[in-house]
Amino acid sequence: MLNRRKFIHRSALSSLLAAIGLGSTACASEEKTIETPKGLTKPSVIATWNNKEANQTAWEVIKNGGRALDAVEAGVKIPEGDENDQSVGYGGRPDRDGKVTLDACIMDENGDCGSVCFLQGIKHPISVARKVMEETPHVILAGAGALKFALEQGFKVEEMLTEKSKKEYEEWLVNSEYKPIINIENHDTIGMITIDQAGDISGACTTSGMAYKVHGRVGDSPIIGAGMFVDNEVGGAVATGVGEAVLKTLGSFLVVELMRQGRTPQEACEEAVNRIAKNQHYKDIQVGYCAVNKAGMHGGYSIQPGFSYVLNQQDETELFDAKSFIKK
Ligand code: ASP
C-alpha cells in the first residue's frame, strides 16, 4: 500500500509535476516533454487493447508495494490463461498447420530481458521468458529448445487449441485465404508496461501471433525493441498489429528513443506509426503503439482507427481510444 510518507511525497510531487507541465495524464501532441527529474516517477500500468482485468491485476501488485516485473508478469498472465482471448496463450488461434505457437518477451528495470518464440504446449510463455532472463545467460530461446527448457523448469505441457479456435480454423481451411483482419478480431496481443512505487519500470508482450500464419513464423512480440522496450531512465512502449511492419522499423525501441530525445509518448507513438505509413503498404494493415514515460505521461497511436489502450495510475482503470493515421 502507499504509505503516509509516500503519499505526502506523491501529493507534493503531483503539484510539482503540474507546475512544470508534467501533471496531466492525456498528452496533447503540442506538449513538450521535460526530462523527468530523478525520482519524479508515477506508478502506472498501461496495456494494449481493452485488457482491463490484466491491468487491474498488475495494478494490485504495484499498489501493494510490489515490483514492476512481478506486476507485468501477473498482468499478462490473465489473457494468456483466458480461452476467450484468441490472440494470446491458451485458446489462441493456430497457424496454417493447426498448431498454436506462442511468442513472449519480458524486460526489467536493469535492461535485462528474456524471450521465447515458436513455443508450443505451454500456457504461460511469459513465465518461461522470465526464466530465460533469470536462469540462463541468453535472451531468446525458440521452438523445441524453448519447450525443453520450459519442461526442465517445471512447466507442464497442455493442449492450447480449444474447440472454438479449432472450429474456426477448420472453417478457414475451406478457402485457406490469408487476410489479416484489421482490428481486434485478429490482433489482441497484450503488451504491458508497469512502473512501480520505487519508480522502476518493466515490460512484457505475449501473443499467439497472426492467426493462420505460416508454420514457423515469428512476429514482433518476442523481439526486444520491436514488440516491447523499456528503459528505466525514459519509459516504455509496446506494439500490436502486423508484426512484420513493427519488426522492419523496430518500433518500440524507436518510441522509447524518441521519448529520450524529448518527444511526449503521444508524439513518439505518432512518429513510429508515420515511419510505417510512409514507407510501406500500410493501407490494409493495423499497427498500434502505446507508451508511458517515467513521469506517467502516456499516449497511443495506430494506422487504422479502432486501437485502444488501457491505463491505471490510480485505483480506476481508464480506456483510451487512440487517434489514428487513417481517419474514420
Ligand atoms: N503483433 C503480433 C504478431 O505479429 C500480432 C498482433 O498483435 O495481433 O505476431
Q: Report pLDDT digits (tens) over 49-103.
A: 999 999 999 999 999 999 999 999 999 999 999 898 888 999 999 999 999 999 9
Q: Please tell me the total count of domains within the chain.
A: 2
What pLDDT score does 2 carry? 36
What pLDDT score does 9 carry? 35
Do 137 and 62 lie in one domain? The reply is yes
Do 7 and 71 lie in one domain? The reply is no
**How far does residue 187's CA lie from ligand 1's centre (Å)?**
6
Alpha helices for the chain (secondary structure H) = 4-19, 52-63, 68-81, 125-135, 143-152, 163-175, 243-249, 251-260, 265-279
Instruction: Give one DSSP letter per residue of 234-290, joined into a string.
Output: TEEEEEEE-HHHHHHHTHHHHHHHHHHTT--HHHHHHHHHHHHHHHS--TT--EEEE
Better-predicted residue by pLDDT, 301 or 17 = 301
**How far does residue 239's CA lie from ligand 1's centre (Å)?**
8
Cα four-point dihedral sign 121, 124, 125, 130 = negative
- The values of phi and psi at residue 162, to 5°, are -90, 165
Do 2 and 149 lie in one domain? The reply is no
What pLDDT score does 31 carry? 43
pTM of the model: 0.88
Do 79 and 25 lie in one domain? The reply is no
How far is it, in rounded angstroms, from Cα 148 to Cα 146? 6
State yes or no: pLDDT of 6 exceeds 60: no
Mutate to test the pocket of ligand 1, among 178, 187, 206, 309 (most ligand atoms within 8 A of CB): 187
**How far does residue 152's CA lie from ligand 1's centre (Å)?**
28
Find out whether 116 and 223 touch, Cβ atoms under 8 Å.
Answer: no
CA angle 26, 300, 35 (to 5 degrees): 60
Query: Can you tell me whether residue 152 is helix, strand or coil?
Result: helix
Which residue reads 478457414 in cell numbers? 172
What pLDDT score does 5 carry? 31
- 215: Cβ contacts below 8 Å, ≥ 6 apart: 95, 96, 97, 99, 101
- 109: Cβ contacts below 8 Å, ≥ 6 apart: 68, 69, 200, 201, 202, 230, 232
Grid coordinates representing 65 are: 508495494
- If we measure between CA atoms, which residue out of 127, 118, 125, 78 comes closest to residue 99? 118
| Closest Cα to atom 5 of ligand 1 | 209
- If we measure between CA atoms, which residue out of 237, 250, 178 comes closest to residue 209? 178
State yes or no: pLDDT of 43 exceeds 80: yes
Mean pLDDT of the chain: 88
Looking from the CA of residue 87, the nearest atom of ligand 1 is 8
Do 126 and 21 lie in one domain? The reply is no
Do 80 and 163 lie in one domain? The reply is yes
**How far does residue 7's CA lie from ligand 1's centre (Å)?**
39
Do 109 and 5 lie in one domain? The reply is no
**How far does residue 201's CA lie from ligand 1's centre (Å)?**
23
| Closest Cα to atom 9 of ligand 1 | 209
What is the rounded average pLDDT of the residues 279-300?
91
| Closest Cα to atom 4 of ligand 1 | 243
Looking from the CA of residue 187, the nearest atom of ligand 1 is 8
What pLDDT score does 85 carry? 87
Kindly name the residue from 33, 57, 101, 189 that is annotated as catalytic: 189
Q: 185-235 pLDDT, tens per residue?
A: 455 799 999 999 999 999 999 999 999 999 999 999 999 999 999 999 999
How far is it, in rounded angstroms, from Cα 257 to Cα 260? 5
What pLDDT score does 38 carry? 52
Q: 103-118 pLDDT, tens per residue?
A: 999 999 999 999 999 9
Which residue reads 518464440 in cell numbers? 117
Mutate to test the pocket of ligand 1, among 103, 192, 220 (most ligand atoms within 8 A of CB): 220
What pLDDT score does 13 carry? 43
What pLDDT score does 144 carry? 98
**How far does residue 189's CA lie from ligand 1's centre (Å)?**
6
Do 7 and 56 lie in one domain? The reply is no
What pLDDT score does 324 carry? 96
Do 190 and 149 lie in one domain? The reply is yes
**Is residue 80 lining ligand 1, measured as CB closer than 6 Å?**
no
Looking from the CA of residue 241, the nearest atom of ligand 1 is 7
Looking from the CA of residue 48, the nearest atom of ligand 1 is 7
Looking from the CA of residue 242, the nearest atom of ligand 1 is 4
What pLDDT score does 4 carry? 31
Do 19 and 160 lie in one domain? The reply is no
Do 8 and 98 lie in one domain? The reply is no
State yes or no: pLDDT of 297 exceeds 50: yes
Better-predicted residue by pLDDT, 278 or 129 = 129
- Residue 126 is which amino acid? I
**Is residue 221 lining ligand 1, measured as CB closer than 6 Å?**
yes
Question: Which residues on adjacent β-strands are paired with residue 140?
Answer: 115
**Is residue 187 lining ligand 1, measured as CB closer than 6 Å?**
yes
Do 124 and 230 lie in one domain? The reply is yes
What pLDDT score does 176 carry? 86
State yes or no: pLDDT of 182 exceeds 60: no
| Structural domain for 77, as ranges | 34-324
What pLDDT score does 278 carry? 84
Q: Note if 189 is an active site residue.
A: yes
